[in-house]
């Protein structure tokens, strides 16, 4: 998904940050922390040209960063789509949209240059640990790069 990587690169070039909270602020995307059920980490909502990210307030700060990056992916890549609609409409695949948002988060939170700074002993597990991200994000980041 080269187009997702390019989208992240353009945002970084324009705003000079990979922090999803800072990017949301620059892009005028409101972030709310709610006491959500444990199985819901966050969600994105678009309403009347306004974009909102809701994050489960019970998550750790590291988890909130990852959730914010993922939901920011939805805000940028799928601006006007909402999840309940996509689940009932067969033209849109929830899996595809979620993979795109995860890929966005991976490219945002793991800079390209850091992948090439590692010696031969580094593994995807080391990279995940170094960036404090789930292994799945490292796999998405590396997909197509090597």
pLDDT per residue as tens digits for the range 61-119: 999 999 999 999 999 999 887 754 433 343 344 578 888 999 999 999 998 876 766 55
Host domain of residue 114: 2-142
19: which strand partners? Answer: none
Mean pLDDT, residues 115-138: 77
Three-state secondary structure along 118-139?
A: CCCCCCHHHHHHHHCCCHHHHH
Residue 134's CATH number? 1.10.10.2910
Taking CA atoms, 50 is separated from 42, 66, 81, in Å, by 17, 22, 12
60 pLDDT higher than 60: yes
122: which strand partners? Answer: none
Q: Residue 31 CB: number of other CB atoms within 10 A? A: 18
Number of domains composing the chain: 1
CA angle, residues 141, 75, 88, in degrees to nearest 5: 95
Read off the pTM: 0.84
> Which range is most confident: 19-28, 43-52, 88-97?
19-28
| Average pLDDT taken over every residue of the chain | 85
């Amino acid at each position: 998904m080269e187009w997702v990587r390019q989208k992240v690169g353009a945002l970084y070039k324009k705003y000079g940050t990979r922090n999803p909270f800072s990017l949301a602020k620059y892009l005028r995307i409101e972030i709310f922390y709610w006491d959500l059920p444990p199985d819901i980490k966050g969600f994105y909502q678009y309403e009347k040209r306004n974009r909102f990210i809701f994050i489960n307030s019970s998550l750790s700060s590291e988890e909130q960063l990852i959730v914010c990056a993922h939901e920011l992916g939805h805000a940028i890549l799928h601006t006007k789509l909402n999840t309940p609609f996509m689940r009932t409409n067969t033209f849109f695949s929830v899996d595809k949209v979620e993979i795109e948002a995860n890929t966005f988060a991976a490219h945002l939170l793991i800079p390209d240059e850091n992948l090439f700074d590692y010696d031969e002993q580094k593994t995807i597990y080391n990279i995940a640990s170094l960036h404090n991200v789930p292994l799945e994000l490292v796999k998405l980041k590396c997909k197509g790069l090597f």
